[in-house]
Structure 1
Amino acid sequence: MNFNILRSIFFFCGLTLAHSGANTTETNPYHPDMCNLLKDFGAMTEKVKSMETRLKETEIYSENQILELQSKERTKIIFSATAGRGNAHIGPFNTDIIIAYKKVITNFGNAYSPVTGVFTAPLAGVYYFTIFYHGGRSYPHYLRMFKNNELTVFTADHKTESDGADNGGNAVFLQLQQGDQVYVSMAANTYVGGDDHTTFSGFLVMQT
């Protein structure tokens, strides 16, 4: 309730009580109970206004929480994919190729493309990537992870007749800018297994 209205009520009630005290024998058309009722009504109105203010503050807080959760959801960038070619192996080829890991297991943020095999950073930050492969002894194995055109890490195994299947892998933290691309290249005249042993995964660790 407006403060001026409350002040008028209290002033009116004060006059009424004074009038009632000065002339107790005369009938008073403004009964003190009415003043008390008006005072109670004023106090109740103030409580309602206080509750409305608290509700508005709660709504603002809830909206901020929702926006924060939505922001966190947008920054959830995780992917994991396998070669996805069953028992068929990849290679050997007479030139280097980018491996397209076709079987996508997880792709939060849709930053990895199973068509091209390229991960494109949607946000600047520090990312963690891993590569693993499985292969036989018939050919050497040589996988290299690139950030744009820059070699970061690799994993390799030479051809040998003394062992059976080979497995290898590597991992790295990379600081990326928005739009940077990360992919795995297989060297010419090498090959890897095309099953779910051969994987490429990564996720955003922190924004920068």
Structure 2
Amino acid sequence: MSTSKPNMSDLGQSLYAMAEQLIALENRLKELEKGKTEVAFGTMLEKGGVHGPFKTDVTLAYNKVLTNIGGAYDSSTGVFTAPVAGVYYFTFFYHAGLEHASKLMLFKNSEMIVMTSDQKSRSDPVDTGGNAVVLQLQQADKVYVRMPINNHVWAADHTTFSGFLLS
């Protein structure tokens, strides 16, 4: 019975080839992880009781930040700035009373995209509204909610703005 010794040169080449494959897989995994950005925010307009009416249009600065993964929402300005290009989902809701009309508009950069509103009414003591939209954004695009002149909402846990990156 003859026993042959393994060829050390062949083993070395096999190990070298496997190491190269492993390095290539690790590099590919790092590339995929770089493209994986997590972005999500959830806010509410908490301070101030009745918010409005104002003598000019205002961007609502939702001052209670519940979640701000990725840090793209600025509570001092009320503006979300897309950290990466992608498809995003946004939603906003309000609660208000009958003293004044209620209207909120969601903007992408300076373009109004969707809105929600209710007219002043003596027979309807409470107003609520909301809307949602999916938007294709480029990096640095800005999304925010504005309230037009002579409108109001209640600054409470019913008036919210949130969004997240879908893909």
TM-score by length of structure 2 reads 0.87
Q: Describe how 1:30-179 pairs up with structure 2 within 5 A.
A: 40=5, 43-72=7-36, 74=37, 76-85=38-47, 88-179=49-140
Separation of aligned partners in 1, 2:20 and 2:135: 44
Between stretches 53-62 and 143-152, larger displacement belongs to 53-62
Separation of aligned partners in 1, 2:16 and 2:117: 68
Separation of aligned partners in 2, 1:165 and 1:67: 51
Paired AA for residue 69 in structure 1: E
Gap regions ≥5 residues in structure 1: 1-35
Separation of aligned partners in 1, 2:126 and 2:94: 11
2:159 is the counterpart of 1:205? no
SS where residue 163 of structure 1 aligns? Answer: coil
SS where residue 40 of structure 1 aligns? Answer: coil
Separation of aligned partners in 2, 1:53 and 1:60: 11
Divergent runs of 4+, >4 A: none
Paired AA for residue 21 in structure 2: E
CA apart distance, 1:44: 3.6
Paired AA for residue 153 in structure 2: V
CA apart distance, 1:54: 0.9
Separation of aligned partners in 1, 2:35 and 2:82: 17
CA apart distance, 1:178: 2.4
CA apart distance, 1:45: 4.2
Percentage of identical aligned residues: 45
Q: Larger % of helix: which? A: 1
CA deviation map 1:113-143 (0-9, x unaligned):
1110011222233322111011122221111
- What is the RMSD computed on CA atoms of the aligned residues? 2.1
Q: Larger % of strand: which? A: 2
Higher relative contact order (CA 8 A, sep 6+): 2
Paired AA for residue 92 in structure 2: I
CA apart distance, 1:97: 0.6
TM-score by length of structure 1 reads 0.71
Between stretches 185-194 and 121-130, larger displacement belongs to 121-130
Separation of aligned partners in 1, 2:85 and 2:29: 24
Separation of aligned partners in 1, 2:105 and 2:93: 11
